[in-house]
Chains A and B, each alone.
Chain A
């Protein structure tokens, strides 16, 4: 049985690991400290991330660097309109066995890796996009009637470009909901741009150091789930999720923006993401319990892609972030 000292040690270890990861990534990625933290939180929570940002902000570099640091297998799939599902999941190939007989042998696709970068996911057809559904949710793929388990840990990091909408296929809501976080890559600041120029136009930095392995990640996932959550904090998270619903009966604390512009509120999966991410954040902060601030910090990445806004919101340029920020301001911590 673990003692208090053991728990203290592992919390300290989690915090230190995160610091090291942040430090190593900082050698390759300029800025985006919050984004790096959120990606790591999604990783230790076993979730997938949808990264959204204009081209050239370092989305792919971030994912690739993460794979190197974690000493995990990494694959990249560039989504195009002619990409087929089998190109992702793999397919049965007709080959010769040692005795010379013709047999079908399964050739795993790029999804069979610890970290999968689905680059520009919205350029593939819905059929191909949905090939990722089973992999993301069940961590398995079925080809030719045979189930193939994916390696653990498994994480999909998908990117999409918000400005080039021509020739794209917006992700279906069911698939969007399967992403643990939706993260926005912001354009770097003036200082950050200068540092990016220095970093990329000089001699390439030395190879990244391995900070964490798969086993360590799985262990941390277990630790995250053991972080205690007070009832009142949980109730706060529940009320926040409820308040995203325009239906007044379910939405006691709902803000006016949510009632006006939201078509469908967050799913229960949003609440799970919110609480789990808050626990991970507490752990990475070296704290054994979840605070209200953890919930508030994880609200935007957890719920922004889970609100379906109506046409009026589109017309008035109201985004999910604005609605969620209003909810944070209006929903009381203790009812």
Chain B
């Protein structure tokens, strides 16, 4: 065997080893890119398997999964070796000398012509370095691996996979999320109704939920904290209960109506033409006060209704009534919150609708009521404004011409059940005074909710007063 042939064989072997290595690197990189891309596409998949750390190992597992196909598809073949040799001839302009010499060198016997081919090829390959002539060349697939990996890491870091799993499976939000949502609604209600204790409780609950989410602590720990909170709320509700208060036996709606009427009554007292300083209010104002049913009932209870009321006494009475009504509403809200937290603590899956703080007090109070259809006071709901269509209302009532049923007025507790029905064409059977009174009450509640600009409040009050004074019409 000639020296030229030996030398060439070594050079060819080096070239082919380098090309094989490049192929292996290229295959691995492309495989990694495909694996990461697949991991991004299949991002929610690990969420369905309760294996620790699976989400971080997905690219590796996918890579192992697709590796056989890739390594088989891009395996090194004889054709690749031939292609490398032809490429060598092309780059160095050897006119296929290298390819011919490579083939001839694998034969057992050679002749003088073959040796000449070896010689000429060796001369032209003097100083040939495969790595220099054929450096690594990265394709776009290789360059895409890095960005894909970063994207995948970012998606995992921001837990996009978990949120996707939750969305796709329709799973309920975590306990902390539910508590957070509940606390925000509680605060919203407390702010709108001026319930200080409930507001504090809502803030405290929100802190608790946020802390749990930030520290990623377990649900069990949160349940323990919620149980403690529930006890605290129960204690606060009990301590706030006023035995002598009239409000304990009132329904939630009655209390809310009373609050609205108290506000309206206070405004009546502030009218400039009110007889300030006199010992007794004029009969006209007393009549107006009497048109506020809840307030009238409370005045009747106290047997203080009459012309002997002076403005100062009336003011102090209104303050006391408002304080009691607000305190009772606050207490009921706290109790509802406590019940909700207890249920959460027990099951962690408390049904939201049954514990909606916006319905606080109704369950407790109305449960003792008769089985009539209850009227929702939607004007109290957050975000609810007059004139807006309500999507959460009661089922449509398709009764006759009668659209409101009132209870009997007299001593003792009474319940008024309003049934809203679809307006039907024809003459109304309700008196204008009655209708105007209802609308005025609703308007007063809206005025109290501070959504109405201060400058317009007076105009609205005057408008409803003018309606009442305009006299009955058909």
Contacts and interface: CB of A to CB of B under 8 A. Distances in A.
Interface stretch (B115-123, B352-360, B411-419, B444-452): B115-123
Interface string A136-168: 000000000000000000000000000000000
A293 B83 contact: no
B112 interface: yes
A8 B95 contact: no
Nearest to B87: A334
B96 interface: yes
A292 interface: yes
A25 to B, nearest CB: 26
A9 to B, nearest CB: 11
B12 to A, nearest CB: 13
A290 B96 contact: yes
A329 interface: no
Contact of A228 (B79, B83, B117): B117
A288 B95 CA distance: 10
Given A2-B112, A6-B112, A226-B113, A288 B120 contact: yes
A4 B114 CA distance: 9
B112 A289 contact: no
B99 A230 contact: yes
Given A230-B100, A232-B99, A288 B116 contact: yes
Contacts of B112: 1-4, 6-7
A335 B78 CA distance: 11
A7 B86 contact: no
Contacts of A226: 111, 113
A11 B113 CA distance: 10
Given A232-B86, A334-B83, A334-B86, A7 B99 contact: no
B86 A289 contact: no
Given A228-B104, A232-B86, A333-B86, A4 B116 contact: yes
Interface in B58-111: 79, 82-83, 85-86, 89, 95-97, 99-101, 103-104, 111
Contacts of B120: 288
A7 B116 contact: yes
A7 B89 CA distance: 22
A227 B113 contact: yes
A291 interface: yes
A228 B96 contact: no
Contact of A335 (B79, B99, B101): B79
A6 to B, nearest CB: 7
A232 B88 CA distance: 14
Interface magnitude class on chain A: 20 to 34
A288 B82 CA distance: 19
Nearest to A223: B113
A3 B100 CA distance: 19
B99 A288 contact: no
Contact of B119 (A4, A6, A232, A290): A4
A290 B114 CA distance: 12
A150 B332 CA distance: 129
A228 B113 contact: yes
Given A3-B112, A4-B112, A230-B103, A289 B79 contact: no
Contact of A289 (B95, B111, B115): B95
Nearest to B115: A4
Contacts of B96: 230, 232-233, 289-292
Interface string B248-259: 000000000000
A15 interface: no
A2 B104 CA distance: 18
Interface string B290-327: 00000000000000000000000000000000000000
A1 B110 CA distance: 12
A174 B176 CA distance: 93
A64 interface: no
Contacts of B83: 334
Given A7-B112, A229-B100, 14 more contacts: A4-B116, A226-B111, A226-B113, A227-B113, A228-B100, A230-B103, A232-B85, A232-B96, A288-B97, A288-B113, A291-B96, A334-B82, A334-B83, A334-B86
8 contacts: A7-B113, A232-B86, A233-B99, A289-B100, A291-B95, A291-B96, A293-B95, A334-B82
Interface of B: 79, 82-83, 85-86, 89, 95-97, 99-101, 103-104, 111-117, 119-120
Interface of A: 1-4, 6-8, 11, 226-233, 287-293, 333-335
